Amino acid sequence: MEDIEKNIEQQNISADDEMINAAFQRLLDTYLASYHRRKVDIITIAFNFAREAHKGVRRLSGEPYIMHPIAVAQIAAEEMGLGSTSICAALLHDVVEDTEYTVQDLENIFGPKIAQIVDGLTKISGGMFGDKRSAQTENFKKLLLTMNDDIRVILIKICDRLHNMRTLESQPANKQYKIAGETQFIYAPLANRLGLYKIKSELENLSFRYEHPEIYKQIVEKLQQSQATRESLFEEFTAPIRAELEKKGYEYELKARVKTPYSIWCKMQRKHLSFDEIFDILAVRIIFTPKGEGDAAEGDECHNIFLAIRKIYKWHSERVREWLENPKPNGYRALHATFMSKSGNWVEVQIRSRKMDDIAEQGIAAHWKYKSQNPNEPNEESEFNDWLRTIKDILNDPQPDGMDFLDTVKMNLYSSEIFVFTPKGEMITMPADSTVLDFAFQIHTFLGSHCMGAKVNHTLRDISYKLKSGDQVEVLTSKVLRVEKDWLDKVNSAKAKQKILMILRRYDREKQKKGELVLKEWLTAQEMELTTSLLDHLCQFHDIQHRENFLLALGDGNIVLGDADLDELRGKNKKKKKSGWKKFIPFMKDRQQEETNNAIPVANSLLTVGKDFNKKTPCVITEETFGMYIFPECCHAIPGDDILGFIDNDNHVEIHRRDCPIADKLKTSYGNRILDAKWEMHHKFYFDAAVSIQGFDRKGMLHDLADVISDQFDINIHKITVSTTNGLFEGIIDLAVHDRTELRGLMDQLKMIPDMQEVLQAK
């Protein structure tokens, strides 16, 4: 028997070696086919070093661990076009984190540059921060700091994340939500900001697949069902375009670009459309080899091709967008226009040169290919320098809250740009939708903190006035002004928001010191001493989570200590924490059971997560266990929603919808506290929901509404509010439903009522 087991083990090792060697050979072939200098020796050394370092270790999927670094290096070489330094760093990126080798060891063997990149990629251990702090935020800060020295750190990190997303299936559900949430919140926007459109789209789509698997599956099936129709439309639409391009002597390639399931879902959500109501699923991409040289010549040829297509098809004058003379902040250049096909469908056409296409697909990596003799060295004059400087400003904030930090960085990642001028004519680049206050903080923190308005093009404007490209701005200040909390609503740039938060935190520290003094004086008068446990007791009594917030409330005068506090500290008044879960269920009994008063037994004590709690096991929410969980009002989750659990600071479990904005931040900042959660409800409870309606006013409309809601669906109406103006009506209907599926079915049926124009979910 031992001989048989050894033989099987030997066969497995042999198969692993064959798979590993084949993957590495493919990597070398990809590298050798690129424009980079031939440095095969250093890549081979890095591969052998990593292979030995990870020897005997396997991933959850069962494959040898070394296959992951090889895959990351393959993405770096093939999909980003990076060179030998990046490939070596990708092969070695987990060595310091997962083995006993140090950054110094790598520097001794591979030199300082590769070691520096690997160090930037090495995660900070979660144990250094504990469960209550955001290790992910700290990791991301380190990543961004290193990125200021070498942009390849973030590029390889995106390669690493892309491969992790491609192999996410082997992870337990709670890890899937955590990784997908981080990806959607941080890494997809990063890829977009660096011009990696193809990778950005794949990251978004993979995240969507794991966050909302059922919806993803439905959209994929509908795309497959409509594929033949799209292919027919593409061939019919492009035939005369091909003829015109060949007549003009262009070397070209025509591609059909189909919206991803994620982008389709986003449009369905944003515009409240069904799949069948989305008509721009297909776009046509024209990629041509320019006849002339230089960006200007390429731009002219894009316009020439556009004019040639205008002679074939009618065009939509309001849907022409061009980024030729003024590229997007990530370097994207192209001309987009929409034309009417012979079959009556609007089709978007994207016109790019091959260089533009390379930059669109590979982003900053393609810039090196075209702009730098040494492709591994970032261009110091890159358009990303201003962006990187803003990131550095954010990182310089000594104590940013983890959630605020990620919010602020993301705001910067997503922004497009405008160009405005100082009174002396100096051009300043600002995020789109920037206000006068944004501009003031962009110039100087003192100017921003004392800004009372500005003269924009010699006209007086307030601090919330939104600037446009070409505006000339003169900031007006007052020394007596102080930064206010509502200023956060009057800025749209990451830099201004971060500066305001820094100033407000400084104000808060002053108030906290005052609050601490007030508390000490009050305790002294009661012949008591200030201790940590006493402060925690007062926080709990006033239902305030953090000590700092309690001291702040004292310093602000929002809390005045009195006899009730004294009774609480002396044990005369015990205040119990309430979960608040009952307010989400208007009816705790099935309507058939009401007559017999046979109530459903519901747990009324919150689940507490202890040391032995298995985070890989899903929280199953039934009628009996419903009361064990907290349902925050941020997303109002009801049965039928895709949900997850989050372990809060009191070790209780909150239930959020997976697309909840708060849940997005929790997945990114506190991924180790995310749990899988599932519904197993059986139409026993009713949940609050609301539907907004709009349409043409007519006699009998309310009767038709009541007929559908009450008679067809047997759903109880809590309240209905309707107003009419000029023959149109709009209203809100408050309902009690069993689950989201029942609500969607009701809304679909309401849309069928004559003269009903719009039915939307209100909450």
Helix/strand/coil (H, E, C) string of 194-251?
CCCHHHHHHHHHHHHHHHCHHHHHHHHHHHHHCHHHHHHHHHHHHHHHHHHHHHCCCE
- For residue 538, pLDDT over 80 is answered with yes
- Please state, as a whole number, how many other Cβ atoms lie within 10 Å of the Cβ of residue 529: 9
pLDDT at 578: 42
- For residue 326, pLDDT over 90 is answered with no
Q: Which DSSP symbol is given to 125?
A: P
- For residue 281, pLDDT over 80 is answered with yes
- For residue 398, pLDDT over 60 is answered with no
Higher pLDDT, 168 or 593: 168
Joined together, the tokens standing for residue 643 give 């949900």
- For residue 586, pLDDT over 50 is answered with no
Per-residue model confidence as pLDDT tens digits over 735-754: 999 999 899 899 989 999 99
Those residues whose C-beta lies under 8 Å from the C-beta of residue 240, and which sit 6 or more positions away, are 312
Distance (Å, whole) CA 678 – CA 425:
59
Calculate what percentage of the chain has a pLDDT beyond 70: 83
Averaged pLDDT, 564-588 = 55
- How sure is the predictor about 419, in pLDDT bands with cuts at 50, 70 and 90? confident
Which of 98, 295, 386, 401 is labelled catalytic? 98
Distance (Å, whole) CA 395 – CA 487:
21
Would you tell me the crossing angle of helices 261-271 and 197-211 to the nearest 10 degrees? 70
Distance (Å, whole) CA 70 – CA 74:
6
Joined together, the tokens standing for residue 172 give 């337990």
pLDDT at 642: 92
pLDDT at 364: 66
Distance (Å, whole) CA 372 – CA 641:
50
Q: Which of 49, 46, 61 is nearest to 16 (CA)?
A: 61
Per-residue model confidence as pLDDT tens digits over 327-372: 776 678 899 999 998 888 889 999 999 999 988 887 766 665 665 4
Residue 350 — φ and ψ, nearest 5°? -110, 120
Distance (Å, whole) CA 534 – CA 120:
43
Distance (Å, whole) CA 57 – CA 60:
10
Q: Which SS3 state, helix, strand or coil, does residue 646 take?
A: strand
Contact 264, 278 (CB under 8 A): yes
- For residue 7, pLDDT over 60 is answered with no
Averaged pLDDT, 257-276 = 86
pLDDT at 404: 61
Averaged pLDDT, 431-456 = 91
Q: DSSP states of 507-562 as a string?
A: HHHHHHHHHHHHHHHHHHHTT----HHHHHHHHHHTT-S-HHHHHHHHHHTS----
Q: Which DSSP symbol is given to 686?
A: B
Please identify which residue in the block is written with the tokens 């909150």.
654
Q: Which domains, ranges and CATH numbers included, belong to the chain?
A: 13-213 (1.10.3210.10), 220-371 (3.30.460.10), 385-502 (3.10.20.30), 503-569 (no CATH), 581-679 (no CATH), 687-761 (3.30.70.260)
Give Cα separations from 342 to 233, 317, 570 (angstroms). Answer: 9, 18, 83
Spatial strand order in the sheet of 459-461: 459-461, 451-456, 473-477
pLDDT at 295: 82
Would you tell me the crossing angle of helices 84-92 and 2-32 to the nearest 10 degrees? 160
Residue 68, H or E segment: helix 67-78
Residue 253 — φ and ψ, nearest 5°? -140, 135
Per-residue model confidence as pLDDT tens digits over 640-660: 999 999 998 888 999 999 988
Distance (Å, whole) CA 516 – CA 494:
32
pLDDT at 277: 78
Mean residue pLDDT of the chain comes to 83
Contact 68, 18 (CB under 8 A): no
pLDDT at 542: 84
Give Cα separations from 109 to 4, 77, 97, 112 (angstroms). Answer: 41, 22, 17, 9
Q: Which SS3 state, helix, strand or coil, does residue 749 take?
A: helix
Calculate what percentage of the chain has a pLDDT beyond 90: 38
- How sure is the predictor about 392, in pLDDT bands with cuts at 50, 70 and 90? low
- Total residue count of the chain as it appears in this document: 763
Give Cα separations from 27 to 30, 151, 603 (angstroms). Answer: 5, 22, 57
Own/partner pairs, 100-107, CB within 8 angstroms, 24+ separation: 101/53
- How sure is the predictor about 598, in pLDDT bands with cuts at 50, 70 and 90? very low
Please identify which residue in the block is written with the tokens 């949940």.
687
Tell me whether residue 98 is one of the annotated catalytic residues: yes
Contact 152, 186 (CB under 8 A): no
Q: Which SS3 state, helix, strand or coil, does residue 718 take?
A: strand
Which of 9, 29, 52, 97 is labelled catalytic? 97
pLDDT at 664: 83
Which bin fits 382, alpha (ψ -120 to 50), beta or left (φ > 0)?
beta
Give Cα separations from 729 to 328, 690, 696, 700, 717 (angstroms). Answer: 42, 17, 6, 13, 19
Joined together, the tokens standing for residue 693 give 């309606």
Please identify which residue in the block is written with the tokens 């000339």.
472
Distance (Å, whole) CA 200 – CA 183:
10
State the burial class of residue 124 (Cβ atoms within 10 Å of its Cβ: 0-12, 13-18, 19+).
Answer: middle
Q: Which of 695, 747, 682, 750 is nearest to 722 (CA)?
A: 695
pLDDT at 208: 95
- For residue 595, pLDDT over 60 is answered with no
- The identity of residue 522, as a single letter, is W
Averaged pLDDT, 511-537 = 85
What pTM was estimated for this model as a whole? 0.71
Least confident of 50-54, 242-246, 498-502: 498-502
- How sure is the predictor about 202, in pLDDT bands with cuts at 50, 70 and 90? very high
Joined together, the tokens standing for residue 585 give 């269920």
- For residue 304, pLDDT over 60 is answered with yes
Q: Which DSSP symbol is given to 185?
A: I
Give Cα separations from 702 to 538, 708, 733, 755 (angstroms). Answer: 53, 10, 11, 12
Residue 547 — φ and ψ, nearest 5°? -60, -40
pLDDT at 592: 41
Higher pLDDT, 728 or 367: 728
Distance (Å, whole) CA 275 – CA 428:
42
Per-residue model confidence as pLDDT tens digits over 19-44: 999 999 999 999 998 877 788 999 99
Per-residue model confidence as pLDDT tens digits over 111-144: 999 998 898 888 544 333 334 445 566 666 666 6
Averaged pLDDT, 481-489 = 89
